[in-house]
Amino acid sequence: MAKNYFPRSLMGRALLIVVTPLIVLQIVSAYIFYESHWDQVSKRLALGVAGDITLLTDLLRRFPDPDDRAWLLEAAARDMEIHARLEPDAILTSTLSGQTSVEGELRRALLSKEIGKPFRVDSRSEDNKIIVVIQLSGGVLEVTTPLARLFSKTTYIFILFTVGTSLILLGVSTMFMRAQVRPVLRLARAAEAFGKGREMDTFRPQGAREVRRAAHAFIAMKTRIQRQISQRTTMLAGVSHDLRTPLTRMRLELEMMPETEGVRALKDDVIEMERMLEGYLAFARGEGAEKPEPRNVASLLDDVVRQARRAGTAIAYSSRGDLTIPVRPNGFLRCMTNLLENALRYGSRVEVFAERRGGAVEILIDDNGPGVPEDLREEVFKPFYRAEGSRNPETGGVGLGMTIARDLARSHGGDIFLSDSPLGGLRVRVRLPL
């Protein structure tokens, strides 16, 4: 469950690795500051104020003469920033201390000085001032001193310094991290383009040593795959072409022989072999070197549907939106032709619809034929597999049509999926990325 809260991008995770120690450092620093510096400074400031107040009360108790007391109060205001006034014969009404941290610190300091008299601390009656009311034997002494004597501004300075430096370090880290992540993103885009059958000539290995190593490995893999595809395509085309010569001689020999049941069977076998060779060649051409180019899929589909309507089958076609994507025109036409011919072979009614959906172009081909059982829908894409088990050319091809169609779709970075059709037959969904 915890992984659901972590960033999914490399940039986010890298920043998390940088930011987490930074936050922990700030928390530890703040804890040390408040537990040691702030606590000690606040305690010492409170002890200083408490000492001045204790000294003043002791002096007032030792010198009861009014003139002496007036001089003491004046000296306290002048030298200690303590403004005090004495109310003779008054009684302290409450000895409860306030709840703020400053009041509590000063109260503890006064108790530690053993002032020995009831007192009350108030920091809320007047702004930026703290009042201490002490019950003396001859009346009530009210002492007022600036709140700044009990409060250190280093707290705000520390917070501003830590937050400011953290933001600066975070900004610098983000810039450096983005520069390190950018080559990885370029490598990902190059791999994605290669998966879609598109070239990315501007891709060059960049970034850290490990990223450049991965980029070189990707380029080597891409070259190796292209070389293997080219070799296989050349081999299939060459073998299929070379086999045509002996088949042609066999067919000529059979034509010159007397027409018997065995000769007719051999002719059918030769025709079947020629059709299989044509399938081989079509499969080989599907992996050719045709370059992708931006084309309107709707226009290409219209050509395929118009060609298929010549067979007299009812085909409904519609499209929606701009369907211009990079495709190999001949490969795309061959893919759609194979799928449409397969639908026309088993159904009497076919509907074709194309639209842009979820970052891809989707093409739906529905028919009202018998459909394909769910457990066989992946089998039909295997070479030479036919749902109808015979090799009768009247009931199907050689079993390469769907294989070639999926191969062409995947060479564009897409795929083909089969499901139940609303018409009662099979739905073929072709998805091609933008």
Per-residue pLDDT of the chain (434 residues; tens, 9 = 90+): 556 667 777 777 777 777 788 778 777 877 777 666 667 777 888 888 888 888 888 888 888 888 888 888 888 888 888 888 888 877 877 655 556 777 777 788 887 776 777 888 877 777 888 888 888 877 888 888 888 787 766 667 777 887 788 788 878 888 888 888 888 888 888 887 777 666 776 788 888 888 888 888 888 888 887 787 777 767 766 766 677 777 777 777 777 788 787 777 777 777 777 766 776 666 555 555 567 888 899 999 998 888 888 777 778 999 988 888 888 888 888 888 888 988 888 888 899 999 998 888 999 999 988 888 888 888 888 876 666 544 444 545 556 778 888 888 888 888 899 999 998 889 999 999 88
The CATH architecture of the domain made up of 290-433 is: 2-Layer Sandwich (3.30)
The CATH architecture of the domain made up of 193-289 is: Orthogonal Bundle (1.10)
Query: Is domain 2-152 classified as CATH 3.30.450.300?
Result: yes
The size of the chain, in residues, is 434
Model confidence, pTM = 0.52
| Whole-number pLDDT of residue 430 | 92
User: In 10 A of CB 383, how many CB atoms?
Assistant: 14
| Whole-number pLDDT of residue 223 | 81
Domain residue ranges in the chain: 2-152, 193-289, 290-433
